[in-house]
Amino acid sequence: MTYRKKTIKIMQLCGIALLSIGLVACGSQDQSSKSKESKSSAEQSSTTREVTDAMGHKLKVPTKPKRVLASYLEDYLVALDVKPVAQWSVANGIQDYLQDDGLKGVPTISYDLPFEAVQKVKPDLIIMDSADMVEGGKYDQYNKIAPTYVVGKEKNNDWRKELLAVGKVLNKEDQAKKVLADYEKKAKAAKEKLQQDGKSPSVAAVWLTGGKFFMVSKNLSSGDVLYNDLGLKVPKVVDEISAKATSNWNPISLEKLTELDADYLFFINSDKKDASVLQQPLWKNIPAVKNNHVTELPASSSWLYTGTIANTEIIDDVLNSIDK
């Protein structure tokens, strides 16, 4: 082979070698690019989960939400060790009973969740109690701010179901089940303690606010705890009021209260500054009042609410008053 031909051959071989290296490098880069895309997709799927709410919305929610807004559902959040970005409030207050448990220092937000206020707290997940809260096109506006999950009527009328629903969307189902199991255990033990000679005493819960009396329905709020969880006896008057109930707490006249044949009365007083109605003879003629079996509770107590923490505190109040 002549020197010239030999040189050309070497150059051809070098060219082939360089081309091979280039192809390998391109292949590597291509593979690396695909690997990065695959990793990015995997990371994306691991940081979000798909859930379906009561209204049929399919949502991608954070696997580990860090900025949760769930107005009036804070009892469930606190029970599940979640601190919300803002807490429910009305003109005359907040849920005082939850402050020491985890809401102290949390900014307040109006109960009707104005869009500007919601945007300001920058949630990464919004949980709504009912469809009523998002009617009239509101859902789409909230959902633009953050994924919005609606619990719905089927579950929000039963605090146990609502706890589990909130636990599910927060990816804390196991913790929610444990919280519920602990509550059931406590309620069962309290129920056994409250039995007196094989019978349960009769009780009632009455709320005074704005100079008017309200009685709790036997299957809702604190009534659910008293009569269903603790098995305490339902007085006739409570049965009558509950049969016509339209909400958790229903109006009752002072005259009707004199017919209340409860052994014990739990009295939530929101009229501390002006409780002149309690000086009237009719009030003093209520059997439980005459027998000094009235436990007065402040409006800041948990008796006007419901949830694991609220109901646990109600059980403690009942035990402290009756199981002496």
Contacts of 171 (CB under 8 A, 6+ apart): 49, 63, 64, 65
Angstrom distance (rounded) from CA 166 to CA 76: 7
Give the pairing type, strands 93-94 and 148-150: unpaired
What pLDDT, in 10s, does the model give residues 221-270?
A: 999 999 999 999 999 999 999 999 989 999 999 999 999 999 999 999 99
What pLDDT, in 10s, does the model give residues 101-153?
A: 899 999 999 999 999 999 999 999 999 999 999 999 999 999 999 999 999 88
8 Å CB contact between 109 and 71: yes
What's the pTM value of the predicted model, to 2 decimals?
Answer: 0.84
Position 213 scores a pLDDT of: 96
Mean pLDDT in residue range 198-223:
94
SS3 content of the chain, % helix, strand, coil (to 5): 50, 20, 30
* Alpha-carbon dihedral sign for residues 233, 234, 235, 236: negative
Distances (CA, A) of 218 to 176, 207, 224, 237, 271: 25, 14, 6, 11, 23
In this predicted structure, the answer to whether residue 15 has a pLDDT above a threshold of 80 is: no
What pLDDT, in 10s, does the model give residues 107-120?
A: 999 999 999 999 99
Contacts of 189 (CB under 8 A, 6+ apart): none
Tokens 């098995």 found at? 231
